[in-house]
Amino acid sequence: MKKISIHTNLQQVTLEELPTDYQKLIELAKTQTKSAYAPYSKFFVGAAVLLNDGQVIGGNNQENAAYPSGLCAERVALFYANSQHPSTPIKALAIAAYTNNSFVKKPIAPCGSCLQVLVECELRFNQNIEIILYGEQEIYHIKKAGELLPFSFTLK
């Protein structure tokens, strides 16, 4: 039997260590939590996408009583970006979550469906998408979405 290990590479950073455009991306993700529609879970998630041309797009989770008909903040932002700017690659995505009257202390990661969409976007444009996960006590910076989903579905 052969043992195989899989590792995820990420950096724990401070807000000040991130480039200014990534700091602004986090702030937009935090702002997006305020307009999320989460009457069932009370877990408000905001996402912000930075396109290669500098445009920034926000998104937030949208729940529905007919679960799982809702959509995560990440996919709302990614699908909007890809539908309105189909030839512009995505450079980065920031995610923030708010619940119980405060932002989460530790960062949350995208769900498997969102990760698959992120990996598909990386493949579509042949470019890594940097992920910034915000928490009040910690911020994680991941250099490519594929780091978080090593067994993604691909055409290759």
> Catalytic site residues?
74
| Cα–Cα separations (whole angstroms), residue 39 to 44, 103, 124 | 9, 17, 34
Rounded CA separation 130/141 (Å)? 7
Describe the chain by its helix, strand, coil percentages, rounded to 5.
30, 25, 45
Question: What amino acid is encoded at 133 in this protein?
Answer: L
Which of 77, 71, 85, 67 has its CA nearest to residue 118? 77
